[in-house]
């Protein structure tokens, strides 16, 4: 089994190591792979096979979860490139971006005081998603040029923006719950 | 030249022998069993022609155990000894009962943090034992109807059941001597029942409101693969709560302040009747017999809707969260399936339809749909339907975490992560020479450990003494396809496998289960050893059958002549021992030996199939896409 467990996540799905990835295609491959390895396929094969199937499926799930999320995929690629991003010391960020973030956060925090908070959330969400798409583009081109530390900074920006979308979602749900009573 | 015919004459299991497998819906209010016969899934009926078995067990002083309708009929006259809605107690500790149980008419024994036992005239019983009695009744019905021994069962649980509740369900099956092929989430089972029929593709929502639990699941259906995208709900919200809301209204209207267990039962039974009557009427007369006087009141549909509206809203809030977790917009939902008897309540149907803006599907009986889906899965898992292109990919319903400093819960595996899943985490020592470490595993979404559900505490022992911070202990949390957690640990520096003793916070230990089994055997005059021998024989057959099939398909391609000889020898040895030995231990050892011999081969096969699947895909990508 050492064979499979030593493969990187891209190799598991037999796809090129790249940030640009078609999620729909990844999902197709994921389902195909599950048809081969899922423990349900080994219910009658004895305990040893079942155990192995659980381990392999766990690995496949981990690979899928990592690759399908752009932020996780971006980080994973840098790890593969040899960057020790789990223990990074340098966390300085582009001051312009930080300014933007501060303004965005203020806007997010004041959403509730707006006449139609849900509309405002939609507007901000579109804005953040647009920024996210741009940042992903920049990451991709930095990564392809093997400018890893630059790519790393873009990936941190992705994280920030991702967090923004989550916050907006949280507020939307809270507001909707209140409306329901 | 490979030896193809190795099996002993008469002992070879015919490859396409039909195995008897069942699907069980172990419900709060009602339970059902279904099976696939001649390619068709049907629920199995009792002698009276009923497929529904009320999940009620009555314990009599002479130790007679009655299950179902006959037990339910005794609920008012003998509330202390008639156990209803036991599913609500599964995986719960005595101290949890306070939040569930003001209305439970039983007396409990057991320690605060232990498993509560219901006091009856026939003895004290845990929820696991009561559930096992229900399962036994269903198993007997199935064996009688199908005419033979069962090879296994798929048992459904609410998607929102936590680890302790799932484990309790599995333990109940063990006590009932049922082999669990899989614990299947109820909404997923319902999706299978609907999806397989129609060959539907796309994203669907399953809204499942049962007697005591509510589940919402969002699934993507694609070429026989049912991928759960998210799941949510409330493991303590169901039709029973509708009854309670009506009961409280009745008590307020009738100015009842003191409740005897018998009156309590009477009120709840009447409340339930009123709820059901309002499905087809605009108003219903509610009556009670109070100290010989008849009390009567009118309950309109409108007032009823008011009484339950906050409960329905709670379910819709869960729907919204599930959609968000799935990353799916409401308008992407192609269909909404209603499951569970409580979805018969008109206001539920209206509200759910309004929320999703779709007319919900109800064409399969909401009481039967879960059992039917489970039986389809059981049929495939038993190996009856080799060509059946069905695969269910489920998720972890609630986040798993561990306790950190200050009583905070740190999440290790987030909710809605596809299962099986494994995560490793590294720990170190904080004192020189420290040889043990305590870990507390919890489940839930809240920040504070005290707000989460305690699953297990375990200690890592035998860490080699080192200076503080030098040890690196890797703890691996593994959740299997049933959603059950297991933990292992290893000191990475020394390679010492640390001894992990997981002590479940609730639930029964293996010893307790074994003890109960032994007790029940004594009554049935069976022998524990016989059962163990039988289990090992079945496992041996399974292993032999699997290895034969494997060798036949790729033994020549993947094995050298030497390897093949070793495996054949080991396999013949196991077949011999299986036939002649009366000792479970000896068969077990022979199984282990064969598995050891096959270890590399098994791994090689798995690798090969992955390789083939992914390589094959590149070539026919285009055609596959065209088909889609």
pLDDT digits (tens, 9 = 90+) for B95-134: 777 666 556 667 788 766 578 888 888 888 999 999 999 9
Nearest to A46 among B393, B542, B617 (CB): B542
Which pLDDT score is estimated for B499?
55
Tell me, yes or no, if B599 is annotated catalytic. Answer: no
Beta partners for residue B295, in sequence order: B288
Residues 12-51 in A contacting B (C-alpha not used; CB under 8 Å): 12-14, 28-29, 31-41, 43-49
pLDDT digits (tens, 9 = 90+) for B462-506: 778 888 888 888 888 889 999 888 887 777 777 666 656 555 666
Least confident of B22-36, B53-67, B291-305, B518-532: B518-532
A26: Cβ–Cβ under 8 A, 6 or more apart, which residues?
A: A13, A15, A64, A67, A68
The three-state (H, E, C) secondary structure of B527-560, written as one string? CHHHHHHHHHHHHHHHHHHHHHHHHHHHHHHHCC
Query: What backbone phi and psi angles, to 5 degrees, belong to B340?
Result: 95, 140
Q: How far apart are CA B155 and CA B46, in angstroms?
A: 19
Contact (CB, 8 A) for B405 and B441? no
With CB atoms and an 8 Å threshold, state whether A33 touches B614: yes
Nearest residue of chain A to residue B221 (CA atoms):
A31
- Report, in this order, helix, strand and coil percent for chain B, each rounded to 5: 45, 25, 30
**pLDDT higher than threshold 60 for residue B626:** no
Nearest to A31 among B225, B381, B599 (CB): B225
With CB atoms and an 8 Å threshold, state whether A34 touches B421: no
Q: Which letter, b or e, does each residue of B109-124 get, where b requires 16 or more Cβ atoms within 10 Å of its Cβ?
A: ebeeebbbbbbbeeee
DSSP state of B398: S
Beta partners for residue B454, in sequence order: B442
Tell me, yes or no, if B129 is annotated catalytic. Answer: no
pLDDT digits (tens, 9 = 90+) for A30-79: 999 998 899 998 887 778 888 899 999 999 999 999 999 999 999 999 99
Among candidate residues B162, B163, B186, B536, the one labeled active-site is: B186
Tell me, yes or no, if B541 is annotated catalytic. Answer: no
Which pLDDT score is estimated for B440?
87
Residues 319-378 in B contacting A (C-alpha not used; CB under 8 Å): 320-321, 324
Chain A residues touching B152 at Cβ < 8 A: 43
Chain A residues touching B612 at Cβ < 8 A: 36
Q: How far apart are CA B360 and CA B204, in angstroms?
A: 11
Which pLDDT score is estimated for A180?
59
B391-393 and B152-157 strand pairing:
unpaired
pLDDT digits (tens, 9 = 90+) for B542-586: 889 888 988 988 888 888 889 999 999 999 999 999 999 888 889
With CB atoms and an 8 Å threshold, state whether A38 touches B320: no
Which pLDDT score is estimated for B620?
43
**Residue among B472, B473, B500, B463 nearest B485 (CA):** B500
| Domain A2-68 class in CATH | mainly alpha
Long-range Cβ contacts of B565-571 (<8 Å, 24+ apart)? B566/B597, B567/B594, B567/B597, B567/B598, B567/B601, B568/B3, B568/B6, B570/B594, B570/B597, B570/B598, B571/B6, B571/B544, B571/B547
The per-residue pLDDT of chain B, averaged, comes to 84
Output the pTM of the full model: 0.83
Among candidate residues B78, B133, B162, B208, the one labeled active-site is: B208
How many Cα neighbours within 13 Å face the side chain of A131? 21
Tell me how far CA of residue A114 lies from CA of A108, A168, A181, B200, in angstroms. Answer: 10, 14, 20, 42
B88: Cβ–Cβ under 8 A, 6 or more apart, which residues?
A: B28, B100, B212, B236, B240
Q: Which of the residue ranges B187-191, B222-226, B404-408, B528-532 has the most confident prediction, judged by mean pLDDT?
A: B187-191
B40-43 and B30-37 strand pairing:
antiparallel
Residue B223 touches partner A, C-beta closer than 8 Å: yes
Tell me, yes or no, if B186 is annotated catalytic. Answer: yes
pLDDT digits (tens, 9 = 90+) for B155-168: 999 888 888 899 99
Which pLDDT score is estimated for B508?
64
Q: Does domain A95-180 fall into CATH 3.40.50.10490?
A: no
Residue B303 touches partner A, C-beta closer than 8 Å: no
Which pLDDT score is estimated for B510?
67
**Residue among B391, B209, B412, B416 nearest B328 (CA):** B416
ipTM rounded to 2 decimals: 0.85
Which pLDDT score is estimated for B628?
36
Residue B105 vs residue B426, higher pLDDT: B426
pLDDT digits (tens, 9 = 90+) for B300-333: 999 999 999 989 988 998 898 899 889 898 899 9
- Helices B528-558, A47-68: crossing angle, 10 deg rounding: 60
Which pLDDT score is estimated for B148?
86
The per-residue pLDDT of chain A, averaged, comes to 87
Overall average pLDDT of the B603-610 stretch: 85
Nearest to B383 among A38, A44, A58 (CB): A44
Q: How far apart are CA B135 and CA B126, in angstroms?
A: 14
Beta partners for residue B401, in sequence order: B411, B442
Which pLDDT score is estimated for B369?
93
Which residue stretches of B328-412 are H helix? 346-356, 369-381
With CB atoms and an 8 Å threshold, state whether B610 touches A28: no
- Helix (H) and strand (E) counts in chain A: 8, 0
Which tokens sit at B260?
């005897």
Chain B residues touching A53 at Cβ < 8 A: 606
With CB atoms and an 8 Å threshold, state whether A36 touches B613: yes
**pLDDT higher than threshold 80 for residue B14:** no
pLDDT digits (tens, 9 = 90+) for B143-190: 999 998 898 999 999 888 888 899 999 999 999 989 999 999 999 999
Residue A178 touches partner B, C-beta closer than 8 Å: no
Nearest to A40 among B392, B539, B591 (CB): B392
Q: How far apart are CA A4 and CA B506, in angstroms?
A: 37
CATH 1.10.287.110 occupies which residues in chain A?
Answer: 2-68
Which pLDDT score is estimated for B2?
41
Residue B11 vs residue A146, higher pLDDT: A146
pLDDT digits (tens, 9 = 90+) for A85-141: 766 666 677 888 898 999 999 999 888 888 888 888 989 999 999 999 999 999 999
Residue B521 confidence class, pLDDT cut points 50, 70, 90: low
Q: What angle do CA A178, A169, A137 make, to 5 degrees?
A: 165
B453-461 and B408-413 strand pairing:
unpaired
What percent of chain B has a predicted confidence (pLDDT) above 90? 36
Residue B43 confidence class, pLDDT cut points 50, 70, 90: very high
Residue B363 confidence class, pLDDT cut points 50, 70, 90: confident
With CB atoms and an 8 Å threshold, state whether A57 touches B481: yes
CATH 1.20.1280.20 occupies which residues in chain A?
Answer: 95-180
pLDDT digits (tens, 9 = 90+) for B189-199: 999 998 765 66
Q: How far apart are CA B212 and CA B242, in angstroms?
A: 10
């Amino acid at each position: 089994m050492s064979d499979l467990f030593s493969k990187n996540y891209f190799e598991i799905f037999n796809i090129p190591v790249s940030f640009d990835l078609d999620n729909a295609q990844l999902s197709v491959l994921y389902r195909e792979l599950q048809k081969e390895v899922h423990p349900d396929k080994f219910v009658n094969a004895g305990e040893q096979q079942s155990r192995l199937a659980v381990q392999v499926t766990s690995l496949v799930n981990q690979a899928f979860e990592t690759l399908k999320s752009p932020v996780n995929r971006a980080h994973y690629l840098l790890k593969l490139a040899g960057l020790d991003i789990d223990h990074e010391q340098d966390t300085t960020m582009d001051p312009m971006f930080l300014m933007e973030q501060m303004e965005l956060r203020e806007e997010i925090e004041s959403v509730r005081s707006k006449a139609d908070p849900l509309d405002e959330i939609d507007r901000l969400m579109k804005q953040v998603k647009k920024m996210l798409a741009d940042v992903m583009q920049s990451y991709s081109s930095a990564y392809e040029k093997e400018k890893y530390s630059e790519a790393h900074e873009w990936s941190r920006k992705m994280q920030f923006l991702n967090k923004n979308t989550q916050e907006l979602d949280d507020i939307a749900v809270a507001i909707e719950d209140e409306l329901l009573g | 030249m490979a030896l193809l015919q190795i099996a002993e004459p008469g002992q070879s299991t015919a490859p396409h022998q039909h195995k008897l497998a069942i699907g069980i819906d172990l419900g709060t209010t009602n339970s059902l069993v279904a099976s696939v016969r001649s390619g068709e899934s049907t629920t199995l009926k009792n002698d009276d022609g009923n497929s529904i078995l009320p999940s009620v067990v009555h314990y009599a002083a002479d130790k007679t155990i009655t299950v179902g309708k006959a037990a339910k009929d005794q609920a008012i006259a003998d509330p202390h000894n008639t156990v209803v809605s036991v599913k609500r107690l599964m995986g719960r500790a005595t101290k949890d009962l306070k939040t569930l149980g003001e209305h439970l008419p039983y007396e409990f024994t057991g320690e605060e943090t232990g498993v509560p036992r219901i006091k009856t005239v026939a003895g004290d019983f845990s929820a696991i034992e009561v559930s096992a009695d229900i399962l036994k009744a269903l198993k007997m019905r199935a064996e009688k109807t199908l005419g033979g021994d069962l090879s296994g069962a798929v048992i459904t649980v609410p998607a929102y059941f936590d680890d302790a509740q799932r484990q309790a369900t599995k333990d109940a099956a063990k006590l009932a001597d049922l082999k669990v092929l899989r614990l299947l989430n109820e909404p997923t089972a319902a999706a299978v029942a609907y999806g397989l029929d129609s060959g539907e593709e796309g994203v669907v929502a399953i809204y499942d409101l049962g007697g005591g639990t509510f589940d919402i699941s969002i699934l993507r259906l694609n070429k026989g693969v049912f991928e759960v995208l998210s799941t949510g709900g409330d493991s303590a919200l169901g039709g029973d709560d509708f009854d309670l809301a009506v009961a409280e209204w009745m008590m307020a209207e009738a100015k009842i302040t003191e409740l005897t267990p018998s009156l309590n039962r009477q009120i709840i039974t009447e409340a339930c009747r009123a709820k059901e009557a309002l499905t087809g009427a605009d108003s219903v007369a509610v009556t009670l017999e109070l100290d010989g006087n008849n009390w009567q009141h009118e309950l309109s549909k409108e007032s009823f809707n008011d009484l339950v509206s906050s409960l329905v809203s709670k379910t819709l809030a869960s729907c919204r969260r599930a959609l968000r977790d799935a990353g799916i917009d409401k308008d992407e939902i192609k269909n909404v399936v209603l499951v569970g008897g409580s979805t018969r309540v008109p206001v539920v149907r209206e509200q759910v339809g309004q929320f999703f803006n779709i007319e919900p599907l109800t064409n399969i009986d909401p009481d039967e749909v879960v059992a039917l889906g489970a039986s389809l899965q059981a049929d495939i898992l038993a190996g009856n339907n080799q060509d059946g292109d069905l695969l269910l990919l489920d998720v972890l319903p609630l986040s798993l975490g561990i306790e950190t400093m200050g009583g905070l819960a740190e999440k290790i595996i987030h909710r809605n992560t596809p299962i099986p899943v494994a995560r490793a985490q590294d720990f170190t020592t904080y004192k020189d020479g420290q040889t043990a470490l305590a870990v507390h595993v919890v489940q839930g979404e809240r920040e504070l450990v005290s707000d989460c559900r305690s699953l297990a505490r375990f200690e890592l022992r035998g860490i080699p003494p080192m200076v503080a911070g030098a040890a690196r202990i890797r703890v691996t949390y593994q959740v299997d396809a049933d959603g059950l957690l297991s933990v292992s640990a290893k000191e990475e520096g020394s390679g010492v496998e640390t001894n992990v003793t997981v002590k479940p916070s609730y639930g029964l230990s293996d010893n307790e289960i074994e003890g109960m089994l032994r007790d029940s055997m004594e009554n049935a005059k069976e022998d524990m050893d016989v059962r163990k021998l039988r289990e090992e024989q079945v496992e041996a057959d399974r292993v032999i059958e699997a290895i034969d099939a494997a060798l036949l398909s790729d033994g020549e391609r993947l094995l050298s002549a030497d390897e093949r000889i070793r495996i054949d020898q080991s396999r013949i040895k196991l077949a011999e021992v299986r036939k002649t030995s009366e000792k479970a231990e000896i068969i077990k050892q022979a199984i282990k030996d064969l598995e050891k011999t096959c270890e590399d081969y098994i791994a090689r096969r798995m690798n090969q199939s992955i390789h083939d699947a992914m390589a094959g895909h590149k070539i026919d990508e285009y055609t596959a896409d065209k088909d889609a």
